[in-house]
Structure formats: structure tokens, C-alpha cells
């Protein structure tokens, strides 16, 4: 957009900014900038850092512009101290409904849209956006395929787990049946309940019921 204005603050006209979010942006931008240097390296090795913040909520309340650019300026005369750090904010709720003819409007509108036909209409004449839409479609297709594959894999795991559980249950029931039959025969032959318990592991109550 062409409204890249210097943000000048004074006591009479202070831009109302969500303090916590603003501090968060400043913190990450500063950390990226300072994190470039290793111990003993010269400041000349520092590269300019530019943060682009896109929000789906109104961040700067006293400004109707959807795009704002912040740098290190003198708040009284607008003199630039350094271009080492820059923060750009893009607020989707402030985006005008009508196309203002800028590429920025087209890009931000794409982020707001959910309808594929509307995306393609905006992309007409803009190859970069067309390529992005194609990429998004491919990503969506890949994601759908991935989820389908995961669902199939889960179904197979559940089937195998159910089969194994059934086999185990059957084996347990078979072991219990054989154990009970052995204990019954031992009991018929007059073997003591204690000995039957020691051999089969059945309790005296279970042996009594046989």
C-alpha cells in the first residue's frame, strides 16, 4: 500500500496498542536481531530484521489502516535512527471490502477467503497468487490423503488388536477350562484341596464349587 507513514506518538495522540501483544512482537524481533551475533563478533555482522505480523483481530485500535510499518524514528521530527529493525502489522479485520488495486489487498483477501472460486477470481492476472493457490490445493490434497491413510492405518490396527484380544481371551478361557477340569478330576480322586490349589492355582472356594 502507499500509506507507509511514520508512526509519531505524542501525549495528545497516542496509538492505542494492545500492550502485551506489542511487547511480545518487540521481544521476538529484538531476540532475532541480537541472536545473530556470537561472542566476540562485531556489530557490523548484524543483518536487518523485519517482522511481519498478521492478525485476525484489531491490534491497533485508533488507526483504521490495515497495514502499519514501525521503525526506529525520532517521535518529534521523524528522523530515522536506524533501519536495523522493522515491524509490519497487517490486520485482516481492517481490510476494505472493495479492491483498492494493490497487491497487498489481494494477498490479504486470500487469507480471509474460504471459498475456492473467490480465490481464483482474485488470482486472475496475478501469477504469484495463482501459484500459491495451486500450492494450497496440493497441501490440502496431501493433508486429506494423509488423514485417509491414518484412518485406514487406525482401522487396521484396531482390527488386529481386536483379533489379538480375541485370541488371548480364547486362550485364557481355554486355560481356565483345562485347569478346572484337572482340579475336578483331582478332587474326585480324593486329593486334598491344598494340593489342588498348589498344582492348579485355584482358590479353595473355586475348588469347592467344582
Residues 176-209 pLDDT 10s = 777 777 777 777 777 777 777 777 777 777 777 7
Please say which residue of 53, 80, 112 terminates a domain: 112
Q: What is the band of 10 on the pLDDT scale with cuts at 50, 70, 90?
A: very low
Indicate whether 100 and 154 sit together in one domain. no
For 61-86, the pLDDT digits (tens) are 888 888 999 999 998 999 999 999 99
Indicate whether 96 and 135 sit together in one domain. no
| pLDDT, position 86 | 94
pLDDT(18) > 90: no
Most confidently predicted of 17-21, 25-29, 109-113, 151-155: 25-29
Interval 21-46 mean pLDDT: 90
Measure CA 54 to chain center. 16
Indicate whether 34 and 133 sit together in one domain. no
Contacts of 8 (CB under 8 A, 6+ apart): 73, 75, 76, 78
If one counts the domains in the chain, the total is 2
Interval 33-49 mean pLDDT: 91
Indicate whether 141 and 162 sit together in one domain. yes
Maximum separation of any 2 CA atoms in the chain, in Å: 110
Q: 90 — phi, psi (to 5°)?
A: -130, 115
Q: What is the band of 3 on the pLDDT scale with cuts at 50, 70, 90?
A: very low
* Better-scored residue on pLDDT, 164 or 190: 190
* Better-scored residue on pLDDT, 165 or 147: 147
DSSP designation for 17? B
Q: Give the three-class secondary structure for 50.
A: strand
Cβ atoms of residues 65 and 104 within 8 Å: no
| pLDDT, position 165 | 60
pLDDT(116) > 50: yes
Q: What is the band of 1 on the pLDDT scale with cuts at 50, 70, 90?
A: very low
Indicate whether 133 and 107 sit together in one domain. no
Indicate whether 127 and 176 sit together in one domain. yes
Interval 74-102 mean pLDDT: 89
Contacts 24+ apart (CB under 8 A), 64-69: 64/94, 65/1, 65/3, 65/94, 66/90, 66/91, 66/92, 66/93, 66/94, 66/95, 66/96, 66/108, 67/1, 67/3, 67/4, 67/91, 67/104, 68/7, 69/4, 69/5, 69/7
Indicate whether 122 and 86 sit together in one domain. no
Q: What is the band of 125 on the pLDDT scale with cuts at 50, 70, 90?
A: low
Neighbours of 27 (CB within 10 A): 10
- pTM, to two decimals: 0.50
Indicate whether 7 and 105 sit together in one domain. yes
Number of C-alpha atoms within 13 angstroms, CB side, residue 47?
A: 6
User: Domain residues for 151?
Assistant: 116-210
Indicate whether 145 and 89 sit together in one domain. no
Amino acid at each position: 500500500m502507499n500509506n507507509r507513514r511514520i508512526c509519531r506518538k505524542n501525549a495528545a495522540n497516542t496509538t492505542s496498542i494492545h500492550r502485551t501483544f506489542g511487547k511480545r512482537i518487540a521481544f521476538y524481533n529484538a531476540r532475532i536481531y541480537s541472536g545473530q551475533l556470537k561472542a566476540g563478533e562485531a556489530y557490523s555482522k548484524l543483518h536487518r530484521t523485519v517482522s511481519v505480523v498478521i492478525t485476525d483481530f484489531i491490534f491497533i485500535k485508533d488507526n483504521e489502516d490495515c497495514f502499519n510499518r514501525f521503525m526506529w524514528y525520532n517521535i518529534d521530527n521523524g528522523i530515522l535512527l536506524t533501519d536495523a529493525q522493522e515491524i509490519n502489522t497487517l490486520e485482516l479485520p481492517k481490510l476494505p471490502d472493495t479492491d483498492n488495486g494493490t497487491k497487498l489487498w489481494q494477498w490479504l483477501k486470500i487469507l480471509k477467503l474460504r471459498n475456492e472460486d473467490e480465490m481464483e477470481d482474485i488470482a486472475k492476472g496475478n501469477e504469484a497468487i495463482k501459484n500459491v493457490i495451486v500450492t494450497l490445493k496440493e497441501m490440502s490434497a496431501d493433508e486429506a490423503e494423509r488423514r485417509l491413510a491414518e484412518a485406514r492405518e487406525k482401522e487396521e490396527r484396531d482390527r488386529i488388536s481386536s483379533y489379538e484380544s480375541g485370541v488371548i481371551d480364547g486362550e485364557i478361557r481355554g486355560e481356565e477350562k483345562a485347569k478346572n477340569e484337572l482340579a475336578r478330576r483331582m478332587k474326585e480322586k480324593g486329593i486334598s484341596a491344598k494340593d489342588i490349589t498348589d498344582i492348579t492355582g485355584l482358590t479353595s472356594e473355586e475348588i469347592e464349587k467344582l
